[in-house]
Amino acid sequence: MAQVSLFSLFSLSSPFPASAVSSRLRLNRPLPFQFSRIQASSDATSASASNSNPKVVVTRERGKNGKLIKALAKHRIDCLELPLIQHAQGPDTDRLSSVLNDTIFDWIIITSPEAGSVFLEAWKEAGTPNVRIGVVGAGTASIFEEVIQSSKCSLDVAFSPSKATGKILASELPKNGKKKCTVLYPASAKASNEIEEGLSNRGFEVVRLNTYTTVSVSMLAL
């Protein structure tokens, strides 16, 4: 029986010219080696990545990322502090202390740690008058902890809503049976009108002061 080469059989059954088939065979022959090399390289990269600690960039103001950095460190996650925002004075910053001096409010509403920090500075400038504070949540309330521990404290954090949102705060703030209940709301200039509108709809008289704002960091110092 005549012997027929594998190449001849392939050529007879293939619709492609012999030269094309030969070329395809030559091109395809090294692929298993190439695939193995890529796979091995990929496996090595994965192993290297798994052995190194992951990195997280924290972008709040410098000095205000401490709690998050400590929490991530417990999970062996390294952080890079790279502030992308900073707080600046708002148009009503300078008015806050004089308003506290001149007017007694039933409530002062604080909805962020930064609003709390700005308020405390003005409150001290005004001579630490008696004030009753409503906060949006535990994070904001923590700003006042050191002041509250003072034996001569004239600041009372007296309200926090059942859920830490401005909408719920506005719907739950007590009026204490008063027909006229006044509220001072020191806020970010970029905050929405949700709180004062919600309180006004319930009959509160709200004075909003835009005491700070948030801007992009103009120069990053690493």
The residue type at 49: A
- Residue carrying the six token digits 């008289």: 205
Whether the per-residue pLDDT at 14 is higher than 70: the answer is: no
Q: What is the pTM of this model?
A: 0.66
Packing angle of the helix pair 18-28, 6-13 (nearest 10 deg) = 120
Residue 62 near residue 81, CB atoms below 8 Å: yes
Task: Tell me which of 134-143, 174-183, 189-198 is least confident.
Answer: 174-183
Give the pLDDT confidence score for residue 54 in this predicted structure.
58
Cα 7 to Cα 121: distance, rounded to the nearest angstrom? 89
Question: What average pLDDT does the segment 9-33 reach?
Answer: 42
Residue 77 near residue 56, CB atoms below 8 Å: yes
pLDDT tens by residue, 77-118: 888 887 777 778 899 999 999 999 999 999 999 999 999 999
Task: Look at domain 88-212 and name its CATH class.
Answer: alpha beta
16 contact partners, CB below 8 Å, separation of at least 6? 24
Mean of per-residue pLDDT scores for the chain: 78
Question: What average pLDDT does the segment 43-71 reach?
Answer: 67
Task: Pick the more confident residue, 166 or 45.
Answer: 166
**Domain coordinates of the chain in residue numbers?**
56-83, 88-212
Give the pLDDT confidence score for residue 4 in this predicted structure.
39
- Bridge partner list, 134: 109, 159
Give the pLDDT confidence score for residue 53 in this predicted structure.
61
Confidence of residue 151 (pLDDT cuts 50, 70, 90): low
Give CA torsion, residues 70, 80, 212, 135, to 10 deg.
Answer: -20
